[in-house]
Chain A
């Protein structure tokens, strides 16, 4: 070189640029130094890509990984809860061979599905067929970003979280429509039509319950719900009928027994999921179970949330309540027979919707009286 000792890569670059050499030629006096400078180059290149392709700070990587891994774990262990609890109701043991009490069963299922062949039927719409499981799973991952686990823990904190969660849950219908249409099978298509019309009918009731909750909340922030339930009283007590109706609506939303005609496992093979195999099926399956867990989380935040001071205890308490709701889902599946499809729609349009309109006006007038007689001052 030029008889000069370079201590940093930038000094070397400066000199090479001054001398008209802009190429990255690593002139170093020993092999070790060559490797060192090459490594330094890679390090700087890595930082370049990190800060241009990932947002703002490294906080977001943490949240992305949290959301991804926790959703996968929740969905995986929800399948295990289902199998074990349903088997207990039926007086048998569930899977108990793989790990201690079957703990590693979901991992074994996941690995099996990963290695199976994805059979793409002929004349299937290839783009939509491949897009569907990815779409469903991404939606179920995104919804977990807005759910607060305590007063100060929310992966993507925003004063509009209620609106975002409602919007994302409304988009889940498309996954069903895509999966039915893209498999070139008229049974899956009809099954997806029935499932999607069931889902969109119950979306209306779902939204009306959210209207009631927003009325009581005052703004669109989920953290505010937790705050006033901690201060005053949990929502379960004044809103008792809404809790039961909301539970029924959630069962219908997630196509879950007794509303699971589109995916009746003992009669049809898998309804609209029939042509998916291997990882495609795994993603749809995981999306369904993570939706169940997400709806359980929403119902606990709406009706049962309470914030103890310490964050770690909060997470355990919240997790317990969500798990209890998931177990209730499973016990209902094991206990009740299936509704016929016309009964399902009949319940929604002729019974639940009218009842909810009446309840909405009831709570509306309560709040009206509270504000316009200024009795809310007693709460402060």
Chain B
């Protein structure tokens, strides 16, 4: 089927990005400039919101390792999915060897996934 291609290229997305960024930054900077003319900064406004109490503790505390584990797992599975893309797009031109090699790859990843599952990494 025919694709209708306009004159723009996908590389012109950088111009779209820059233009949107500038326009929205201008609106935001306008609102920040309004702040200067209000001149009302006091302690209650500037402190962090804790339902009316004074902030108990320093904010940059360490956090639970579970979030980090999820991020690492996401990274691995995302890269796995990236590896799937060329295989799936060339589905009609594949032979037996490609299928077998991809299945071995999938088996390795599934083994890793089941190891995590059974070692309670995914329990919250």
A interface residues (Cβ-Cβ under 8 A, vs B): 54-57, 59-60, 63-64, 67-68, 114-115, 117-123, 130, 133-134, 137-138, 141-142, 145, 152, 156-160, 163-164, 170, 183-190, 193-194, 197, 200-201, 203-204, 207-208, 211, 214-215, 218-221, 223-224, 227, 269, 274-275, 278-280, 283, 341-342, 345-346, 349-350, 353, 357, 367, 371
Contacts and interface: CB of A to CB of B under 8 A. Distances in A.
Interface in B8-57: 8-10, 12-13, 15-17, 19-21, 23-25, 27-28, 31-32, 34-35, 38, 40, 45-51, 55, 57
Q: Chain A interface secondary structure, helix, strand, loop or mixed?
A: helix
Interface of B: 1, 3-10, 12-13, 15-17, 19-21, 23-25, 27-28, 31-32, 34-35, 38, 40, 45-51, 55, 57, 59-61, 63, 66-67, 70-71, 74, 77-78, 81, 84-85, 88-89, 91-92, 110, 113, 117, 122-124
A80 B66 CA distance: 38
A186 to B, nearest CB: 5
Nearest to B57: A186
Contacts of B31: 114, 118, 278-280
Contacts of A274: 49
A107 to B, nearest CB: 15
B91 A55 contact: no
Contact of B74 (A67, A114, A158, A203): A203
Contacts of B20: 64, 67-68, 137-138, 141-142
Contacts of B25: 134
A120 B16 CA distance: 29
Nearest to A202: B74
Contact of A134 (B7, B28, B47): B28
A122 B59 contact: no
Nearest to B37: A117
A117 B71 contact: no
A55 B15 contact: yes
Contacts of B13: 142, 145, 156
Contacts of A130: 28, 32
Given A64-B19, A157-B3, A346-B122, 16 more contacts: A54-B19, A57-B8, A60-B16, A123-B59, A130-B32, A156-B16, A183-B48, A200-B71, A211-B81, A214-B85, A224-B1, A269-B49, A269-B51, A341-B124, A345-B124, A349-B122
B92 A280 contact: no
A133 B28 contact: yes
29 contacts: A55-B8, A55-B15, A57-B7, A59-B6, A60-B12, A64-B19, A68-B20, A117-B35, A118-B31, A133-B28, A134-B21, A141-B20, A142-B17, A159-B3, A186-B57, A189-B60, A193-B63, A203-B74, A204-B81, A211-B88, A219-B89, A220-B89, A269-B49, A283-B28, A342-B124, A345-B70, A346-B124, A350-B122, A357-B110
Contacts of B88: 211, 214-215
A197 B74 CA distance: 9
A119 B24 CA distance: 18
B61 to A, nearest CB: 6
A54 B15 contact: yes
Most buried by B among A119, A187, A188, A197: A197
Contacts of B34: 115, 117
Given A185-B49, A203-B78, A214-B89, A118 B35 contact: yes
Nearest to B74: A200
Nearest to A361: B106
A68 B81 contact: no
A188 B123 CA distance: 23
B8 A60 contact: yes
Given A280-B28, A283-B24, A204 B77 contact: yes
Contacts of B40: 117
Contacts of B78: 170, 203-204, 207
Contacts of A56: 7-9, 12
A68 B123 CA distance: 42
Contacts of A357: 110
Nearest to A54: B15
Nearest to A207: B81
B46 to A, nearest CB: 4
Contacts of B55: 185
